[in-house]
Amino acid sequence: MTAASIAEPGGESILDTPPPTNSRPRGPFGRLWQQVKQAQGFSKWLLWVGAAITAVFIVLAVFAPLIAPYGFDQYMSHGVRFAKQGSPNGTHWFGTNVRSVDVLSVVIYGSRTAIEVVVLAVVFSLFIGVPLGLISGYYGGWLDRILVLIMDALFAFPYLLLAIIIAFLLQNSVGSGVLTAAIAITVIYVPQYFRVVRGQVLSAREEPYVEAARALGARPRTIMGRYLFFNVIQSVPVIATLNAADAILTLAGLGFLGFGIQPTQAAEWGYELQRGVADMGAGLWWTSVFPGLAIVSLVTGLTLVGEGLNDVLNPVLRKRSGRRVVLPRRDAAATTLPTRQGDNRGRGEELA
């Protein structure tokens, strides 16, 4: 296998070529930032448009109570109940849904839920997946083999089913809130971090500076923590961003199937779409189209950032340097052998 070493549902083959590991940048993400700043053309566009979209949703999430006109489960105001499935109008820009809740507020609060779940899930999977990958890749042996088998099995399994089962099983003990959803999603993404980090460790382990450290008698913990970690961590931003995008879709999928966050706990886009199926049959489009567009936008934003980063960091995909060259004109030089005239470009003039 040459190309496409990892393939998470959201990503293309990234990081076939691990970033060069010979220079220690300032801080673990110093080089990343350097390369982001150098991004050009379409990659640059991808990065900045994606970042802008994502930033909008983060603002919505953080300031939801200030921005949203009503609460996420508020169906009346000043003692007056909102219309049930009311179409978009001046007071309810996005209309109201079957529970008489303002759709705009649900959409805004939904971004808060989505970002909470995704941040939790990404942090959890990083904290589990990266150390496991480091240890497995560094030590090898039977531990590595068993971990690889389990992770491969989890990786190959239809991820949504896995999440459903976990959410379903946790419903009884943990309840069906943000935490359950985050844990269910974590289980899906741990194998991905594990695979990528392990792969990177395997190649970095043979690098001269790691061998030198080992030869000098550095303890495994020092080697992993100081030498391998900072090199391996370079690849994490791309996967984390693409996984975050994927996690939003998984969360919505869970909600759509009825195994996600319940509407009493928080506003969740996928759940709104599930409720919108019946409305759609009756032609009431606004109850599902707005939450749906919110999902599409946020996922697109995050994917653009991930793809942009991938372009910038992956040397194979980076735009070739093939700038168009325009040859400078030269003086009409006689080009006959064997007595070619002096090559009078530039400094030749001084002579005459």
Per-residue binding letters, 306-335, with another protein (x by CB under 8 A): -x--------xx-xxxxxxxxx-----x-x
DSSP 91: S
Say whether residue 55 binds another protein (CB under 8 A). Answer: no
Among 27, 150, 175, 331, binds another protein (CB under 8 A): 150
Nearer to another protein by C-beta: 211 or 343?
343
Bridge partners, 12 (sequence order): none
Nearer to another protein by C-beta: 212 or 277?
277
DSSP 228: I
Say whether residue 100 binds another protein (CB under 8 A). Answer: no
Site for another protein in 259-298 (CB under 8 A): 259, 270, 273-274, 276-277, 280-281, 283, 285, 288-289, 292, 295-296
Nearest to 194 by CA among 143, 246, 119: 143
Site for another protein in 164-203 (CB under 8 A): 164-166, 168-169, 172-173
Say whether residue 76 binds another protein (CB under 8 A). Answer: no
DSSP 171: H
Say whether residue 70 binds another protein (CB under 8 A). Answer: no
Q: How far is the CB of 352 from another protein (least distance, A)?
A: 10
Say whether residue 221 binds another protein (CB under 8 A). Answer: no
Q: How far apart are CA 100 and CA 67, in angstroms?
A: 19
Those residues whose C-beta lies under 8 Å from the C-beta of residue 308, and which sit 6 or more positions away, are: 39, 43, 44, 45, 46, 47, 48, 50
Site for another protein in 3-42 (CB under 8 A): 3-4, 7, 9-10, 12-13, 41-42
Q: How far apart are CA 79 and CA 105, in angstroms?
A: 18
Q: How far apart are CA 176 and CA 260, in angstroms?
A: 7
- Which DSSP string corresponds to 295-342? HHHHHHHHHHHHHHHHHHH-TTTSPP------PPP-------SSSPPP
Among 70, 138, 155, 189, binds another protein (CB under 8 A): 155
Among 154, 202, 213, 233, binds another protein (CB under 8 A): 154
